[in-house]
Amino acid sequence: AQTVTQSQPEMSVQEAETVTLSCTYDTSENNYYLFWYKQPPSRQMILVIRQEAYKQQNATENRFSVNFQKAAKSFSLKISDSQLGDTAMYFCAFNDMRFGAGTRLTVKP
Amino acid sequence: KAGVTQTPRYLIKTRGQQVTLSCSPISGHRSVSWYQQTPGQGLQFLFEYFSETQRNKGNFPGRFSGRQFSNSRSEMNVSTLELGDSALYLCASSKGSNYEQYFGPGTRLTVT
């Protein structure tokens, strides 16, 4: 079974700074997809970024980028120039079915 | 485009009862997935339906079941409710496996 581990239950960062959220996973598959989803307080979950395992290039979406290390089974999310609106729960997901426990990120003014 | 809708938004039931939750996906999306979200267990995958067929299933007891209709709308049923079933139930729709999922606002179920 695939498991997804987010080892940081809570993190905080000052506005405009950079923060990295960690995610590791376990799988025997060679081709798969990884996702980061964001769930703001009392709002719906939305996709932040998606990575296909067969692509070596790290995915980037504006201020959000990932560091995908396939051999290490690691998939971290970097948020640059943090904004107050980035305050949310962040979930790492494997193949859209297995989610990590989440990291609660607070951006402080 | 209208988003994913879930009804009802809030529900209070007593132990032993059964409940049915409904999810209407985004128009054109054929895949609907259901998740249970609790503070202790995080987000747990229940099942996925695609074109009226259950394609994937999580590790939940048989009390949890679902179905999908020809218009892609989906329902989830929980029978013989237990206190531990209290959770936020999220529905998500997508074009297919490993495409972006669009989540609904959830149904908050409280079992007393």
Among A96-105, B34-43, B100-109, the range with the most confident prediction by mean pLDDT is B100-109
pLDDT > 90? residue B4:
yes
Whether B103 and A102 lie within 8 Å, measured CB to CB: no
Res A74 pLDDT > 90: yes
Length of chain A: 109
- CB contact, 8 Å: A5 with chain B? no
Query: Cβ–Cβ contacts within 10 Å for residue A62, how many?
Result: 10
Rounded to whole angstroms, the Cα distance separating B109 from B19 reads 9
- How far away is chain A from the Cα of B105, in angstroms, using its nearest Cα? 5
Query: What pLDDT is stored for residue B2 in this prediction?
Result: 80
| Minimum-distance CB partner of B42 among A45, A95, A102 | A102
* pLDDT band at A2; cut points 50, 70, 90: low
The predicted structure's pLDDT at residue B110: 97
The pLDDT value given to residue A109: 96
Per residue in A7-59, pLDDT (tens digit) is: 999 999 999 999 999 999 999 989 999 999 999 998 899 999 999 999 889 99
Q: Please indicate whether, in this complex, the C-beta atoms of A97 and B45 are within 8 angstroms of each other.
A: yes
How many Å lie between the alpha carbon of A52 and the closest alpha carbon of chain B? 9
pLDDT mean over B76-88: 97
User: b vs e for B73-109, b when ≥16 Cβ sit within 10 Å of the residue's Cβ?
Assistant: ebbbebeebeeebbbebbbbbbeeebeebbbbbbbeb
> Would you say residue A1 has pLDDT above 70?
no
A33–B101 CB contact, under 8 Å: no
The answer to whether the CB atoms of A96 and B103 lie below 8 A apart is no
Residues of A with CB below 8 A from B98's CB? 33, 95-96
Cis before B8 (ω within 30): yes
- Are A97 and B48 an interchain contact pair (Cβ–Cβ within 8 Å)? yes
